Amino acid sequence: MGFVVAITGASGAVYGFRLVQLLAEAGRDVHLVISPHGAQVMREELSIGTPKADAFTKSAANRVSIHAHDDVGCELASGSFHTGGMIVCPCSSNTLAGIANGLADNLITRAAAVTLKERRRLVLCPREMPLSPIDVANMYRASQAGAVVCPASPAFYMSPASVEELVDFVVGRLLDLIGVEHRLRTRWAQHLADRRQGSAAQAPRRVSE
């Protein structure tokens, strides 16, 4: 079963890019919708002009279907089209407001409304900071309607050595939320085990008497 991914006009397009890439390469069909502002951010942050499936992944481009932002007659706008859920990543404040208030005036907000009414998993990944009282209220409203609000907040307990590792931490948590297995470094328990193993390897040996 496939997943819907929406990339909207907040900074952090790399999160959505990596999410699409990993889903497709995991053998999952991806129904991708990019807002006009999302496309602008992709041009500015990732140097991707007109997004095509092979821009995300060449090995699994056949898994990625791109749908027009204004195509509200698309199959994604119908509850009879089965998906495993939907992730909006990154989720702009404008898109958050549209989803939280049920506007459904484009394919992204319409697909989100369908996901909620069909009781499927909807994950919203905002990256805005700071948050206005309106943003906080909209997050609460969306959460009350059944969405999972998962801010793009990378953790540092994994001792990341690159921006890519910070991105992968967030994307790994998003994959967890929709039940897709991955091998990204996100597990606190695994981090503790690795740290203990490293400490044991570095411990001085006792000299036998």
Q: Is the pLDDT of residue 201 over 90?
A: no
Strand partners, 64: 30
What's the rounded mean pLDDT across residues 80-87? Answer: 97
Residue 194's pLDDT band (cuts 50, 70, 90) = low
Q: What is the pLDDT of residue 193?
A: 58
pLDDT digits (tens, 9 = 90+) for 11-25: 999 999 999 999 999
171-192 pLDDT, tens digit each? 999 999 999 999 897 876 665 5
Whether 202 shows a pLDDT value over 80: the answer reads no
* Confidence check: pLDDT of 200 > 70: no
What are 198's two structure tokens?
Answer: 């490293």
Fold of 3-154: Rossmann fold (3.40.50)
Residue 207's pLDDT is: 45
The ranges assigned to domains in the chain are 3-154
C-alpha dihedral, 88 to 94 to 100 to 105, nearest 10°: -90
The answer to whether 140 and 67 are in contact (CB under 8 A) is no
For 177-186, which contacts have Cβ atoms below 8 Å and span 24 or more sequence positions?
177/87, 177/121, 177/123, 177/148, 177/150, 178/3, 178/84, 178/85, 178/87, 178/121, 178/123, 179/84, 180/3, 180/22, 180/23, 180/26, 180/28, 181/26, 182/22, 182/26, 184/22, 185/158, 186/155, 186/158
Mean pLDDT of 155-161: 88
Top pLDDT among 103 and 198 is at 103
Which sign does the torsion angle of CA 149, 153, 154, 157 carry?
negative
